[in-house]
Amino acid sequence: MSRPGPAALQIRRAVQHWAARYGAPSTVAVAVSGGPDSLALLAGAVAAGLEPVALVVDHGLQPDSAATAARAAGQARSAGARRADVLTVIVDAAGGPEAAARTARYRALDAHRDGLPVLLGHTLDDQAETVLLGLGRGSGARSLAGMAAWAEPYGRPLLGVRRAVTRQACAELGLDPWDDPHNTDARYTRVRLRHEVLPLLEEVLGGGVAQALARTAASLRDDNDALDALTPAPSGDELPVADIEHLPPALRRRALRAWLAGRGARALTAAHLAAVDALVSDWHGQGPAAVPGGSAGRRLQVHRTGGILSAW
């Protein structure tokens, strides 16, 4: 590889800072798609003194996906990975192609990481898009807090780095990244945010929008962590309403979210949580509230009977 320039050095410093803050082991896994973000992250991990293992997921969604995955694995080895494993998955979950691919990808990464933390190449731009998506969907503070730099077993060292920097780092290091055609397909909401909405906001508001959205995420994450620490953690199959009805709404809904997660609820939205919260805060004999369950197509029904909540 070529001598590192300023972009590659920025990537290396970001990885070093992340590794020092979260106590990363010397060997880590890196999810590598072959795109500029993941390749730059892998090279940065090597430059930071880590020994990365590359995990390349072949989603099988394009005719040449196997060749693309093999090329990404070769690039990863050239960038200094200890080894590069191609993980072939079947994308068949419900929820649309993006969600289904993400579910299959994370399942494969978790199954093959061998106990290692997995580094992901999400950048500041990805964080800004995530916050904007959450804002548009009214998903609440937890969604607006965006992606965490560390949420075991996944680490995101590049959340403070712009996407343009990762591409420039690849150029400086002589890496030839792959451009996923899905990243320019306007059928996907995130693509339109990236290429239409965010540039318009930058123009109208005079720049700095992506950075501002990322700062919003960081601030809300700190707030969420503080509130989570103050929230009781109910457990058990039944939840007495009297245990939580006196709590401020922000804490009561967090307690409900934690209890529902323990009952198998998944992918809760603000609307789901509000419906369950109404069984506590606005009880007038209404029927059960439905929330997504632990498997595709399954729903949990949350009932209130005799001052007790139950979910089945």
Residues comprising the binding site? 33-38
Residue 303 pairs in a beta bridge with 310
Instruction: Residue 113: count other Cβ atoms within 10 Å of its Cβ.
Output: 17
Known binding positions for ATP: 33-38
* Whether residue 248 has a cis bond before it, omega within 30° of 0: no
